[in-house]
Chain A
Amino acid sequence: MIPLSHFMLISAGLFCIGLYAVLTKRNAIQILIGIEFMINAAILNFVAFGKFDKFQGGGQMFALFAIVLAAAGVAVALAIILNVYKHFKTIDPAKIDTLKD
């Protein structure tokens, strides 16, 4: 029996690692990985609280939905990154500072 607060502490740590990656990385794929860490931290919290919700299963259901949304987001984001690379020849977000045309 693992106490609930330990799940929350681990998810807090993972969220902050993701936040650090999003704030400091100079590469769009690594920023995407940071966002995935943050989403996974949220999913861990959903699942940990879902343990206390046997009949409605809100935590586990929304963890499933969040996983699906994260996967769809990654697909679109990678398509955008490839296009941006074709256009700018770099995927450093600091150097991508113009819109199309």
Chain B
Amino acid sequence: MNPEQLVFYFFAALTLISALLVVSIRNLVRSIFLFFVTIFSLAAMFVFALADFIAVTQVVIYVGGVLVLMLFAFMLSNRELLNGLQSTNGGFKLNHFAGLMIALGFLFLIVTAIINIDIPEITWLKENNMIGQNDNTIHQIGINTMTRYILPFEMVSVFLMMALIGAAHLARKEKRS
């Protein structure tokens, strides 16, 4: 096992274990900080898929934006919210059992599907235009954004505008009537 694989499987294990801890831990603040660990190790795995720009974007947007936003929303809410959240440890409910069964069943389904795929036989993966380790992917991304994917790019910009207005509208103070 060479160092590349060693580091990859280390980050893969870190992703899955921290994700499991996020959903199983009681304390909400701890689970949000563990979410941070999951997102960071996912960014490391994007580097292994030779998508370094996506990895940096992931770190900037998730760690810099989403996580801070979640912590803000959490800290801005009242103490009763915190107390109310942590008092719901009523043991292993039927609800949890059903959810666990559905998730495990779905996992089984996907894993069987993945095992049964004959990846070397997929034609478009064999066409030999794989990204090499010395390729400049950021260059390609820049060109593609402005040529082939200009329509999704503009749609995303309009959507961001809508989200901005919507979030500001929802979060404003109600007027006294």
Q: Does A pair with B?
A: yes
Binding site for B on A (CB under 8 A): 1-10, 12-21, 23-27, 29-30, 32-34, 36-37, 40, 43-44, 47-48, 50-57, 59-65, 67-76, 78-83, 85, 89-92
19 contacts between A and B (CB under 8 A): A2-B8, A2-B49, A9-B114, A16-B110, A29-B70, A30-B31, A33-B23, A33-B32, A51-B51, A54-B130, A54-B132, A54-B140, A69-B156, A70-B66, A71-B62, A71-B65, A72-B164, A76-B170, A79-B170
Whole-angstrom distance between the Cβ of B117 and the nearest chain A Cβ: 7
Give the total of B residues in contact with A, Cβ under 8 Å: 85
Q: Which B residues are CB-close (under 8 A) to A80?
A: 170
- Known A14-B15, A16-B103, A55-B129; contact A40-B39, beta-carbon cutoff 8 A: yes
- Known A19-B103, A72-B159; contact A54-B141, beta-carbon cutoff 8 A: no
A-B contact sample (19 more), CB < 8 A, given A60-B51, A81-B73, A83-B171: A5-B119, A19-B106, A21-B22, A27-B85, A36-B62, A47-B51, A52-B127, A52-B131, A54-B140, A55-B140, A57-B141, A59-B51, A61-B141, A61-B148, A65-B152, A69-B156, A72-B160, A75-B164, A85-B78
Q: Which A residues are CB-close (under 8 A) to B160?
A: 68, 72
Whole-angstrom distance between the Cβ of B8 and the nearest chain A Cβ: 5
The chain A residue sitting closest to B50, CB to CB, is A51
The chain A residue sitting closest to B127, CB to CB, is A52
Q: Are A36 and B159 in contact (CB under 8 A)?
A: no
Q: Are A60 and B171 in contact (CB under 8 A)?
A: no
Q: Are B102 and A23 in contact (CB under 8 A)?
A: yes
Q: Are B23 and A89 in contact (CB under 8 A)?
A: no
Q: Are A74 and B66 in contact (CB under 8 A)?
A: yes
Q: Mark B73-109, 1 if CB is under 8 A from A, else 0.
A: 1101110110011001000000110111011101100
Q: Which B residues are CB-close (under 8 A) to A43?
A: 42, 54, 58
Q: Which B residues are CB-close (under 8 A) to A9?
A: 111, 114
A85 to B84 Cα, complex, angstroms: 12
Q: Are A10 and B45 in contact (CB under 8 A)?
A: yes
